[in-house]
Amino acid sequence: MAILVDRSTRVLVQGITGREGSFHTQQMQAYGTTVVAGVVPGRGGAEALGVPVFDTVTAAVAAAGADTAFTIVPPAFAADAVMEAAAAGLRLGVCVTEGIPVLDMVRAAAFVQRTAMRLVGPNCPGLMTPGEAKIGFIPNHVGRPGRVGVVARSGTLTYEVIQGLSDAGHGETTAVGIGGDPVLGSTFVDILPLFAADPATHAVVLVGEIGGSDEERAAEWIRASGFDKPVVAFISGRTAPPGKRMGHAGAIISGTTGSAQGKIDALASVGAAVAGTIEDVVRLVGERLPGS
């Protein structure tokens, strides 16, 4: 099994004719993802990469049966594109656009919460169910089917963790890059219950970073829910000085809030094994996987 995406997922691409949209759609198709349509206002009736292009998401859903949106459009238009996908009744949206104005995302996130769509992103690498489908930037070669769920704020570390787990023979059920912006469609607390309910996921790797309180809230959820699958955590940005923004817009420490040590302590207090390096992540997963 897997979470969020599998062989049956039918994807429409908002921005399919752009340079980045075209490139990453081709990579998704090469991986085996079922891309059924593109959406580019003003280009309706055309074709791109072997699929029809529509002016609106509603038209693409009606004609092509899409259930998931991949949003890869410029920042000024991304929040509206996300809301259009949600209004059309799609079950999942994955937005990889970086640099969306925060107030735009506040508005979009509030809108999405009133619909049936689950949003992953923005400013994220997307997600992958190895051997079945991927949406976003995760390199095609890094994953392999296995028993470990991955949820991460950092894009690059998502790839590294997947590669390390795959090389060690553990593999992944699904890997989800949630992004590191201040306003996100899905946080750790939204993704962890999906792994909890997935019988094929036997352990979870949680990759966090300094800034915000998402990791602390994840620890609170693990404690309150009685989550009983092994968790291995990695927190990046341990050497960042307080008050200095590092990488993602959300990666800033204010006082003790959002510090690496605070997150490490919170996760360790609920039984998570906290790794110091990616190599440690792989080793700790191997030690904790049932039957290993």
Give the active site residues: 248
Instruction: Give every CB contact of residue 119 below 8 A, 6+ residues apart in sequence.
Output: 82, 86, 92, 93, 94, 95, 109, 112, 185, 186
DSSP letters, 205-263, are EEEEESSSSHHHHHHHHHHHHT--S-EEEEEE-TTPPTT---SSTT---BTTBT-HHHH
Largest CA distance in the chain: 56
Phi-psi domain of 248 (left: phi exceeds 0; alpha: psi -120 through 50; beta: other): beta
Residue where the block lists tokens 């994807």: 11
Instruction: Give every CB contact of residue 257 below 8 A, 6+ residues apart in sequence.
Output: 213
The continuous run of DSSP H or E covering 272 comes out as none
Cα(35)–Cα(121) distance, rounded to whole angstroms? Answer: 19
Closest CA to 58 of 46, 48, 44: 44
Cα(198)–Cα(53) distance, rounded to whole angstroms? Answer: 35
CA–CA–CA angle 180, 151, 212 (5° rounding) = 35
